[in-house]
Structures are given as structure tokens and as C-alpha cells.
């Protein structure tokens, strides 16, 4: 029994699928034209059922042995199943039937790229450009190929060519933003998006990317303006609301940021990152109980969000509940043990609890993870100074200065320790260095050792530098 059934509308596609499945159940043989077969193949492909799609292709090729489109679909499906050699064989068969089909080289190039054969992939894409009308897709594939190789400049070049052909290609706009980020070319990206928006002022993606570029340059006011335009064009653009909130945070506009973060909940389910961001805002506003509630909501949604666990600890620390805060700092540290902020908080909490050796250990972790943290070096050395371990305090400051050779604060603290340890000549030498780097900060020395204000020699040296400056 043979029946012909044409594929056209979605309803007819579904009818074709039903008829095909009836044929399989009845172990019969119906006839479908090539368009109907393509619709059935697409149906199973979209349902993520590649095995059934390949079975349909087998039937289709028996009935239409000279139709290259089935071989191309077969190659694409086999490639997704990581059967690269079989996919390439299918393309070779298609090439015999229709050597001038540009899509053959486009698909072949994609397979080579996935195999890590970048030169072969590039050659295929360039061949595809010669005899294919699908230049937008080829440029996009070339951009991806160069990104895979870490050549983001070439990636940018082909993404721009993609967008020149189709400004509405959202994937290309997204990848373009990624390339600019990797290359740290935010100023250039601003120029590009500004020109892009001049041609297409209703591109919410371009406005959003422009906002991100301004944000990365710490130009938060224009970033907010750009996010507002993106939201005006696409009211349910939750990412734009979230990033606008982040820009407001950087302007210390915490109450406004909270309201903007809340707006994301109108367009997407609440997520851990947003609750955590709101928690930080409430924390900055010193509304610790409310901050803690939001941090707890965050960890309920994502137990691996270290910043939220840390935030709970911060709110408890603020209320002098140091022992409780330690528990949550440790939870954060279990997730990310290389975060110097977490170690710093633990060091401080341990110190306040009188756990001095544990505090020293934590401070040592901080300065190793982040040697430019001046405050950590100063606090670390203070622990030794307060316990009259002056040699150790001096050594910590010496290490700190090696890592931060132009920090006047460190020099002044070292001077104080040297004086306290009776090393007057060394102290005077380092005092001159401190004054050379920051004469206006000399009060730091007297804040730490007020008795030195009566030392005429020190006063004379300070006057020499402060009067000169």
C-alpha cells in the first residue's frame, strides 16, 4: 500500500508525523514527498530524538535517493551525536550529488571545528563563502572558530560582518560583547554600540551591552541611562533591571537599587543572586535583620552561593555575635577557600574572640592571597605588636613593604615598630622614606606612638618634608 502525503503547515506536519508513525506500527510502506519527510525529520530533531530522526532519514533516502538535503540533515544529527567520521561520510555523499552546495562546506567546517581541526575548518568556511548565499551564518561560524582559538580580534571582525548583514542577530551581539570583554576594549565597544544604536535605536540588546560597557568603566550614570533604554524597549528584560541595580549600588544608592532588584521578580522567578544583592544593600543600610533574611533566601535557593553565607556572617559580626558569624564565614570558605575577604573576616572574628593564633593563621592566608591588601598587613602586624612580639611585627611590615613598596602607611607603621624596638637609626631612615612617599600622612606615626610628638629630631625631619611639599 502506498499513499502520498504532502507536508505544509504545522498541522499538516503533525499529520505527516502521525501517518509516518502509523506506517511504522503497521510495518507498511507509505510514500511521502521530500518536503513532508523534512518536516517529520525536523519534528523529531526538535523533540531531541536523534535516533528516530535518523530512522526517518533512512526511509527518506530510500524514496528520494538523489535529495542532498537528507544527507545534510544526517550529517548534522550525527555531528551532535559526536559521530564525526560518519557525519563527514554523509557530506562526501552529498558532495557527489551536488558539488556546488555551499552548505556542505559550512557543515563540514563546523564538524572540523568541533574536532579541533581549526585549519581545515577555516578552509571549509572560506570555500562555503564562495558558493553559498548563507553568508551571515558562515561569518558567524568563522567568528566562533577564531574565538575557539583565542583569536578574539578576528572573532570581532567576523561578528561585525555578521551584524552588518543582520543587525537583529542577538547571538552575534552577545558574542561581540564577550569578545570586547576578553580584549578589555570597553571604550571601543562603546563606540561600536553607539554607532549601532544610531542605525537601530530599538535594539534592546545593544542598549544593554552599552550599559555593561559603561559599568565596566565605572561610568555608572550613563550605564543606568543605557539600561533604562533597554528596559523601555523590552519591559520584561530582567537582566537589565539586575545590572541597573548593580550600577545603583556602585553609586551608594542602596534603597533605589533594592526597588530595581525587586522589579526583576515581576518578570522571572526570584533567584539566589538577586536575593544576595538585595541582602548586601540592606547590609549597607545597616538593616541587618532584613539583610540576613535575604541572604537566607539566597542560600535556600543556592546552597553553593558563598557570598550569601558570608553575608549572613557579616550581619552577625555587626551585632557582635562573633562566634555565630564564624560558622557562616566557614561555610563560605568551604565553598571558596581562596577568597581573601573570607579569610580577613575570619581573622578579625577570631581576634575578637581571643583566638590569637588562629587569627594569625588567617591573616597570613589573607596577605598571601592578596598581598596588596594594606589593611590586612597592618592588622596582622598589630597582633604581634600588642603581644610585644616586636621582631615579628617588624618582619610582617618588611614583607608588606616588599609587596607594596610605595605605601606610605606601611612605612610609618614600620617606623613606629622600629622606635618601639629601640632601633632608632633604622627608624629614622624609614621615616625619611615614609615622608618621601606621603608627607601628608605623617600623623599615622603619632596616632600609633603619640609620645614621639615630643621628639625634636623627628619633628625637625617631618618639618623638612612637609614644608617642602
CB burial string 6-44: b at 16+ within 10 A, e below: ebeeeeebebbbeebeebeeeeeebebbeebbbbbbbbb
Residue 403 in domain: yes
Per DSSP, the three-state class of 75 is: helix
Does the residue 425 lie in any domain?
Answer: yes
Question: What pLDDT was estimated at residue 67?
Answer: 77
Q: Residue 451: give its domain's CATH number.
A: 1.25.40
Look at residue 211 and tell me if it is in a domain.
no
Q: What is residue 48's predicted lDDT score, i.e. its pLDDT?
A: 84
The rounded distance, in Å, linking the Cα atoms of 16 and 267 is 37
| Residue 418: inside a domain | yes
What Cα–Cα distance (Å) separates residue 349 from each residue in 319, 321, 449? 12, 9, 26
Tens of each residue's pLDDT in the chain, 469 residues: 334 444 456 777 777 777 777 777 777 677 877 788 888 888 888 888 888 888 878 777 777 877 787 888 888 888 888 888 888 888 888 778 877 776 888 888 888 888 888 988 998 898 888 877 789 999 999 999 999 999 999 999 999 999 999 998 999 999 999 999 999 999 999 999 999 999 999 999 999 999 999 999 999 999 999 999 999 999 999 999 999 999 999 999 999 999 999 999 999 999 999 999 999 999 999 999 999 999 999 999 999 999 999 999 999 999 999 999 999 999 999 999 999 999 999 999 999 999 999 999 999 999 999 999 999 999 999 999 999 999 999 999 999 999 999 899 999 999 999 999 999 999 998 988 888 888 888 888 888 888 888 888 888 888 888 775 5
Could you tell me if residue 449 is inside a domain?
A: yes
pLDDT tens digits, residue range 199-238?
999 999 999 999 999 999 999 999 999 999 999 999 999 9
Q: How many CB atoms lie within 10 A of CB 190?
A: 20
pLDDT, residue 4, reads: 40
Residue 232: the pLDDT is 97
User: Which residue carries 555593561 as its cell?
Assistant: 212
Q: Are strands 31-32 and 4-5 parallel, antiparallel or unpaired?
A: parallel
Q: Which pLDDT score, from 0 to 100, does residue 1 have? A: 37
Q: Quick one: pLDDT at residue 2?
A: 39
Residue 412 located in a structural domain = yes
d(CA 92, CA 99): 9
- Is the residue at 441 inside a domain? yes
454 DSSP assignment = G
**Domain coverage including residue 393:** 388-469
* Closest by Cα among 226, 164, 154 to 190: 226
| DSSP code per residue over 154-217 | HHHHHHHHHHHH-TT-HHHHHHHHHHHHHHT-HHHHHHHHHHHHHH-TT-HHHHHHHHHHHHHT
Q: Of the candidates 41, 27, 36, which has an alpha carbon nearest to the alpha carbon of residue 75?
A: 41
Count structural domains, the chain: 1
User: Does a structural domain hold residue 398?
Assistant: yes
In contact, 104 and 73? CB cutoff 8 Å: no
Amino acid at each position: 500500500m502506498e499513499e502520498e502525503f504532502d507536508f505544509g503547515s504545522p498541522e499538516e506536519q503533525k499529520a505527516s508525523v502521525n501517518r509516518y508513525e502509523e506506517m511504522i506500527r503497521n510495518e507498511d510502506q507509505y510514500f511521502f514527498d521530500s518536503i513532508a519527510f523534512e518536516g517529520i525529520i525536523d519534528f523529531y530533531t526538535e523533540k531531541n530524538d536523534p535516533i528516530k530522526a535518523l530512522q526517518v532519514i533512512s526511509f527518506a533516502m530510500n524514496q528520494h535517493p538523489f535529495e542532498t538535503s537528507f544527507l545534510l540533515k544526517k550529517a548534522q544529527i550525527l555531528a551532535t551525536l559526536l559521530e564525526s567520521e560518519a557525519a563527514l561520510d554523509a557530506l562526501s555523499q552529498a558532495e557527489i550529488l551536488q558539488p556546488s552546495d555551499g552548505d556542505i562546506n559550512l557543515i563540514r567546517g563546523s564538524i572540523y571545528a568541533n574536532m579541533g581541526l581549526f585549519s581545515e575548518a577555516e578552509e571549509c568556511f572560506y570555500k562555503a563563502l564562495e558558493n553559498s548565499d548563507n553568508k551571515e551564518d558562515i561569518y558567524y561560524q568563522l567568528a566562533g572558530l577564531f574565538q575557539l582559538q583565542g583569536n578574539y580580534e578576528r572573532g570581532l571582525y567576523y561578528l561585525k560582518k555578521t551584524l552588518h548583514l543582520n543587525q537583529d542577530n542577538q547571538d552575534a551581539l552577545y558574542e561581540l560583547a564577550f569578545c570586547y570583554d576578553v580584549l578589555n576594549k570597553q571604550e571601543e565597544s562603546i563606540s561600536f554600540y553607539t554607532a549601532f544604536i544610531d542605525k537601530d535605536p530599538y535594539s534592546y540588546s545593544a542598549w544593554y551591552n552599552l550599559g555593561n560597557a559603561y559599568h565596566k568603566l565605572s561610568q555608572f550614570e550613563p550605564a543606568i541611562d543605557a539600561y533604562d533604554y533597554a528596559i523601555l524597549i523590552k519591559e520584561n528584560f530582567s537582566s537589565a533591571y539586575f545590572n541597573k541595580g548593580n550600577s545603583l549600588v556602585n553609586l551608594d544608592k542602596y534603597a533605589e537599587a533594592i526597588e530595581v532588584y525587586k522589579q526583576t521578580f515581576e518578570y522571572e522567578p526570584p533567584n539566589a543572586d538577586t536575593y544576595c544583592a538585595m541582602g548586601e544593600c540592606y547590609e549597607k543600610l545597616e538593616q541587618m535583620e532584613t539583610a540576613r533574611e535575604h541572604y537566607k533566601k539566597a542560600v535556600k535557593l543556592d546552597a553553593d552561593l558563598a557570598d550569601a553565607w558570608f553575608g549572613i556572617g557579616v550581619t552577625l559580626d555587626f551585632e557582635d555575635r562573633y562566634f555565630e558569624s564564624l560558622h557562616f564565614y566557614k561555610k563560605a570558605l568551604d565553598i571558596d577557600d581562596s577568597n581573601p575577604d573570607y579569610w580577613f573576616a575570619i581573622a578579625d572574628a577570631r581576634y575578637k574572640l581571643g583566638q590569637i593564633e588562629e587569627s594569625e593563621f588567617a591573616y597570613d592566608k589573607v596577605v598571601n592571597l592578596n598581598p596588596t591588601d594594606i589593611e590586612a598587613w597592618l592588622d596582622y602586624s598589630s597582633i604581634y605588636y600588642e603581644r610585644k612580639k616586636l621582631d615579628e611585627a617588624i618582619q610582617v611590615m618588611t614583607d608588606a613593604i616588599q609587596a607594596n613598596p610605595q605605601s606610605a602607611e606601611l612605612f610609618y607603621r614600620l617606623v613606629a615598630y622600629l622606635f618601639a624596638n629601640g632601633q632608632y637609626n633604622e627608624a629614622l631612615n624609614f621615616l625619611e622614606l615614609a615622608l618621601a612617599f606621603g608627607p601628608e600622612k605623617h600623623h599615622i606615626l603619632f596616632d600609633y606612638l603619640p609620645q614621639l610628638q615630643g621628639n625634636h629630631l623627628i619633628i625637625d625631619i617631618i618639618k623638612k618634608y612637609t614644608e617642602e611639599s
